[in-house]
Amino acid sequence: MDQLMPKAEKTICQNRKARHDYVLGERFEAGLVLLGSEVKSLRAGKANLVDAYARIKNNEAFLYSCHISEYEQAGIFNHEPRRTRKLLLNKREIKRMRAKTVETGRTLIPIRLYFSGGRAKVEIALATGKRKYEKRASEREKEVKREVRDRYGF
């Protein structure tokens, strides 16, 4: 019965800068190991993925420098905002990520932080960095599309 109903997703935050700075490839969904005060803060929408990245260390995946603001009502039981958080993935997914990041020089970038079925999830993409001229070209392309849409109503 539970499998028949689609899980509702509520986006907490997105990493728009990643779409500008990287060419995004294959995407993965990972769970997060969080403290209670972190979950409360995420429910309030107080998170930031701008400088965050993921790495694989000792066959485990971790999320680095993801900022989750402190929860005011937590008192002394509060968390450190930029602590390293463990990602929950299958061994197969971790092996595949490790192989792709090591051999091709890609990096793991979090794209979106969201709740799915009441659980905090993060969407991670295998990404390749864009060079300055590639960023300019993509900006020009967006500008042309915007201009055509505004002029002709497409």
The structural domains of the chain, ordered by start, are: 9-152 (2.40.280.10)
**Structure-token match 């001229």, residue found:** 133
| 55 close to 64: Cβ distance less than 8 angstroms | yes
Please tell me the predicted confidence (pLDDT) of residue 2: 56
Q: Which of 50, 57, 58 is nearest to 109 (CA)?
A: 50
Please tell me the predicted confidence (pLDDT) of residue 14: 94
Q: What is the pLDDT of residues 111-153, one digit of tens each?
A: 999 999 889 999 999 998 888 888 898 889 989 999 998 888 7
CA end-to-end distance (rounded Å), the chain = 42
Q: What is the pLDDT of residues 56-81, one digit of tens each?
A: 999 999 999 999 989 888 778 888 88
CA–CA dist 113, 25 (Å, integer): 17
SS (H, E, C) 29-87: EEEECCCHHHHHHHHCCCEECCCCEEEEECCEEEEECCEECCCHHHHHHCCCCCCCEEE
| 13 close to 49: Cβ distance less than 8 angstroms | yes
Percent of residues, the chain, with pLDDT higher than 70? 95
Return the bridge partners of 124, or none.
28, 110
Query: How does residue 4 score in pLDDT terms, banded at 50, 70 and 90?
Result: low
The token duo for 98 is 């490790």
The token duo for 75 is 């008192």
